[in-house]
Chain A
Amino acid sequence: MPQEIEIRTSPHIKTGTYVNDIMRHVVYALLPICGFAVYQFGISAWLLLIFVTASCLLTEALFNYLSDKENTLNDYSALITGLLLALTLPPGFPLWMGVVAGFIAISLGKVLFGGLGFNVLNPALVGRAFVQAAFPVAITTWTPPYLTNRFVEFIPSTLTFPFSLPTPVTSWIQGLNIDSLSSATPLGHFKFAGLDTANLDLFTGMTAGSLGENSALLILVCGLYLAFRKMLNWRIPAAILLSTFLLSAFFYWLDGSKYPDPFFMLFSGGLMLGAVFMATDMVTAPLTPTGIWLYGFLIGFVTVIIRLFGGLPEGIMYAILLGNVTVPLLEAITQPRIYGSVKK
């Protein structure tokens, strides 16, 4: 016969899936993409991933220590921010700048708002936006993938001394005897040189670009893994990709010589990474069913407008940040009709 009685309130059972489980699976889904980045760009990419992630983790630990909060690293959310942030950076990005990006991402993007669950903006993109503004040259310097020496030799800019600007890599790339243009990203190509890249190369990841944005195929597969585990809301990428496709198809139909074809728009740049892994960040995406679709459509729309008419080749980052800030409004206007509510 039991001696002690436990008093609890219902429900007395739980699913058994917790926040750290969800976050852990997101990390699993990001690992293949990180692996592919290292395969493409070698040890520079590997070190950048480690430095940025470590910077994020240490920043979070530091602020937890300063504010006397318990350890929050074991919920894996800072790890995700670190990996995602690194994946949006170019392969030859100086490590010290990566560390700054990680610090800003966690401190301004997350801790300032109160930590996990309270941030308004995607922390990784806050870090990315900061370095975009602070280091405009470094963040748009691209190096070609699949270099023969990539596993033994660093891209020179990677090891730039902290708080100094990197030496331009143009001469280094020319020394490698490859067409310097092949190091430009497909979006940059199109925007500034009017050149097209084969869609299949874009899809499978045979191109230059930021660490994690190159293989749309790999990103989709990893995203599907999470979607099947119900840890990612498939409606968000679906809405973003659909609206991007439709809007760019419209412009392509208007003037096919001036605007890129819609498949190019889908598979180039950071759109896929952003749509699958960043716009879907649960904390900064809407909850309501209609709100989710509107949010996705808005991001797709803004991305296309920035890409086609803005001064930047890439638009997904600002589109998602803009989408993030509209979330409270979207939720307020899309509360679902509850059971039994009387029609007015």
Chain B
Amino acid sequence: MINWLKSLSYKTFPHGIHPDEHKEETRHIGIQRLPFAPELILPLAQHFGKPSKAIVRMGQEVVRGEPLAKADGFMSVPLHAPVSGIIKSIELKPSARGPKTEAIVLQSYTGAAQRILYGMPHDLEALSQEELLQAIQNSGMVGLGGAGFPSHAKLTIPAGNEVDTLIVNGCECEPYLTTDDRLMREYPEQLLQGIRIAMKASGAKRAIVGIENNKIEAVKSLQAHYADFEDITVEAVQTKYPQGSEKLLIKVLLGREVPSGGFPYQVGAVVQNVATLAELGKLLPQNQGLIERLITITGPGIKKPGNYIVPLGTPLRFILEQIGVSDDSGYMVFGGPMMGSTVSSLDVPVIKQVSGLLVLNQGAAQDENQKIYPCIKCGRCVEACPVLLNPSMLGQLAAKRHYETMAKKFHLMDCFECGCCSYICPSNIPLVQYFRIAKSINREKAMAAK
């Protein structure tokens, strides 16, 4: 009761939900490392934007850290070798989301020392803003929170706009995931380095680290570490899903609303997630590429849950062999339980966008009550939607396929698919799923009209 009253004193956004956190299973275990898989699968599309272009040939030997593919334009990033080995093939391989995409298959040299090939170390102080942004792109960094948006593109503020605040997103509001929590506790200096780089690249004068108050150790650790810096503040916010949504966090910390369909820079803010900045702080000074990432591996089906550093391209099957999984757990999710997607096969690799691996038991909560009732207009979705949409109405329109009315009158395009409505719906109506379909149909119609 007292804790509950205390939590009310922290800032937050209206609405939202409080799913079971399930973070205790992993948040007290230190970061561990997974060994190299004998064969890595590296899709060329591991980020939002244009896929990278392979610059290696079949049969070529590569050293760990060496570029394998180059960026194809501004909205693209290069890809580096996560392990020393030999290129087995460049072919179509199944991706986590289903369709096959072009990927580099890299056979690792098991006996090799696996030293990382670095570039010329950067003197960060001496680099200009443009050079710094170029260096960020060269490192292959993308948003590690899950979206995979190229970091340099996000930090490039379009001419005519000015950003005053860098928001460091340490909310980690998805249940189960604890990578940001561990990073903030174990690597505050790397994170600081990353914050400095992002501030310089975007031109922000100050940084605010927003952390949900269920990670109080991280809040205290960072407050102690950053006490000397006047331009960096660490602020605890209420634990509530989806607090980590970029636009909501801007509203909570700065009181500014990003206009509908707009970008954070329009209100003078740029948001980067903790995992991204900590990685950036580690890679950039050594001019190194992104070759591995931290993911939370957890869930009822996992035998040794924890946070593991996984080389990019490691196949799911290899991870499960290493960590141990129960035989009846075929329900596997890349990412968190609210927005993550189920994997389509055990042969898909971990890529830059994967922030967690969740193995749920077969027959999870949904199975027990799969029946879909009619909407009883209880209003729970209306009270959950963080954007203040009317999911009930949208759902009824979707059932009638009135997709255009949804977009025109009920702000369908402002839905960012956090899934609160589907989570809370007592009628079991797949609301957010309907909205995804509606959006893609509208998009297709718009394309056809052109």
* Chain A contact residues, CB within 8 Å of chain B: 1-22, 75, 114-118, 230, 233, 282-285, 287-289, 331, 335-342
Contacts and interface: CB of A to CB of B under 8 A. Distances in A.
Contact of A341 (B248, B260, B337, B386): B260
B263 to A, nearest CB: 11
A1 B375 contact: no
A284 B382 CA distance: 16
B338 A10 contact: yes
B387 A14 contact: no
Interface residues of B, number: 75
Interface string B321-352: 10001111111110101111111111000000
A1 B411 CA distance: 44
A170 B135 CA distance: 96
Given A1-B327, A339-B247, A10 B428 contact: no
A293 to B, nearest CB: 13
Contacts of A19: 373, 376, 426-427
A26 to B, nearest CB: 11
Contacts of A289: 382
A22 B375 CA distance: 13
Interface of B: 17, 19-20, 175, 247-248, 251, 257-262, 301, 317, 320-321, 325-333, 335, 337-346, 358, 360, 362, 364-366, 369, 371, 373-380, 382, 386-390, 392-393, 410-411, 414, 419, 422-424, 426-428, 430, 432-433, 436
Which of A12, A114, A340 has the largest number of chain B CB atoms within 10 A? A12
A11 B176 CA distance: 13
10 contacts: A1-B320, A4-B330, A14-B422, A16-B365, A16-B369, A18-B371, A233-B379, A335-B390, A337-B388, A342-B260
A289 B341 CA distance: 33
A174 B240 CA distance: 65
Given A18-B369, A338-B387, A339-B247, A9 B382 contact: no
A340 B261 CA distance: 8
A288 B388 CA distance: 10
A339 B325 contact: no
A4 B333 CA distance: 14
Nearest to B258: A340
A3 B330 CA distance: 7
Given A1-B325, A7-B344, A18 B426 contact: yes
Contacts of A117: 373-377, 427
B377 A6 contact: no
A18 B373 contact: yes
Given A233-B379, A338-B411, A10 B341 contact: yes
Contacts of A20: 373
A287 B382 contact: yes
B259 A340 contact: yes
Contacts of A341: 260, 411, 414
Given A287-B390, A288-B382, A340 B257 contact: yes
A219 to B, nearest CB: 21
A1 B330 CA distance: 9
A322 to B, nearest CB: 18
Contacts of A335: 390, 410
A233 B330 CA distance: 40
Nearest to A341: B260
A116 B330 contact: no
B330 A6 contact: yes
Given A287-B393, A340-B258, A12 B358 contact: yes
B426 A21 contact: yes
Nearest to A77: B376
Contact of B327 (A2, A5, A22, A336): A2
A287 B382 CA distance: 7
A19 B340 CA distance: 26
B331 to A, nearest CB: 4
Given A287-B390, A341-B411, A342-B260, A12 B360 contact: yes
A116 B377 CA distance: 10
A335 B389 CA distance: 8
